[in-house]
Amino acid sequence: MASGYLITGGLHLDGLMDTFDGIFAGKKKRLKAMKDSKVGSFGVQSLVFITLIQTACILKIQNLIFFVLPICLFWGRFSNLFFIERFKYLSFKKKSISHKKFWNGFKKESLISIIFLLIFTAYQLVSITSQAILIKFLILILIGIFLSYSIPNILGNKIGGFNGDACGASVVLVETAMLFMYAILL
């Protein structure tokens, strides 16, 4: 977990905290709360709960983390493609540059990710020796499709669009939900 935080500079966690502060600030104050550099109580609570859930899941998964984590990370990042495709960009500033400005459509944007997923899946199909783990892996992929689509939809509908904070929140929530689902399946 710490290595992920260090690699991203905590960017996704910051987005999670800002998004939760915004959601609970109410519709009129939502973007202002998300833009505020100070973390509110709901942001802190979201960080604590997510960290505890991720820690518990990693402790339960143990040695299978190297098998589970790549698929969780994949779906967390893939969720942003659904976000950008489906929702309008919410900006704090008028001159802000949106991901949509360079957007080529979901099919083109997701192609490289789908190729990666197919290669990773093929590798797992060849390398997994236990049929039970293979079935869990395939179920995890199906759950990932559902979560990476539904979580950005819930967030996007709640805040009325997407921005960088909401994208970071989507990454963290999908990753955590994937870890949690696998820990339950284990």
Conformational region of residue 180, where left means phi above 0, alpha means psi within -120 to 50, and beta covers everything else: alpha
d(CA 145, CA 147) in angstroms, rounded, equals: 6
Predicted TM-score (pTM) of this structure:
0.90
Q: How many helices (H) and strands (E) does the chain have?
A: 8, 0
Domain tally, the chain: 1
What integer is the mean pLDDT of 65-92?
88
Q: For 131-140, how does the pLDDT look when each residue is reduced to its tens digit (9 = 90+)?
A: 888 888 888 8
Range of the domain at 72: 2-185
User: Which one, of 22, 175, 170, lies nearest residue 82 by Cα?
Assistant: 170
- Name the percent of the chain lying above pLDDT 70: 95
